[in-house]
Amino acid sequence: MRYIFIIAITLFSMQSIYAQYGYGRGYGGYGGYGRSRMSSMGASQTPQGPTEEPPTAAEIAEERLPDYVAEFELDPFQTEVLRTYLEDYFNNIMALQKDQTKDQETMRKDFERMQNEFKTNLKSIMTEEEVEKLIAMDFSSSAVRKRKKKRDN
């Protein structure tokens, strides 16, 4: 039951990352709040400009790393090791999400295996309690703001 909870948290955090970096770009993205681009021949509203790629594993790791470093007071060596572990872990998760050939049960087992490998790697630079805390960290925008506010005080 505990593993299912951890899997759910990780999957939701990955979805929030994809949502945060915008597949829809919500309020106007490239054209402002409500301006549509009209052609001279008609009311074509096809989006103009490049589509934004989802973040890479390195970008996600780079975004989360400052929070981890501040929370766990990591030295430079531990920081670089953690960066490597995070990039590998996120690359594996993204590859698993893109793989359409596996059924749900196989994907769940693969995810649990990746989660356990990641935890084992983390235990080389952190305590058991720190590993559990790192896995459970929330990266919603409100949680990140709260952590930054707490650090600044």
Decide if 66 contacts 72 (C-beta within 8 A). no
* Percent of residues, the chain, with pLDDT higher than 70: 67
Q: How far does the chain reach from its first CA to its final CA, in angstroms? A: 37
Mean pLDDT of 120-127: 94
Other Cβ atoms less than 10 A from the Cβ of 68: the count is: 21
pLDDT digits (tens, 9 = 90+) for 4-57: 545 555 555 555 555 555 444 444 444 444 444 444 444 555 556 567 888 999
Predicted model pTM:
0.62
Mean pLDDT of 85-92: 95
Residue 80 has pLDDT above 90, yes or no: yes
Average pLDDT score over the chain:
78
Tokens found for residue 126: 């952190």
CA dist., res. 10 & res. 111, Å (int)? 10
- Could you tell me the sign of the dihedral formed by the alpha carbons of 123, 119, 93, 137, in that order? negative
Decide if 114 contacts 90 (C-beta within 8 A). no
Residue 130 has pLDDT above 50, yes or no: yes
pLDDT of residue 46: 56
* Sole residue written with tokens 């790393």: 65
Residue 88 has pLDDT above 90, yes or no: yes
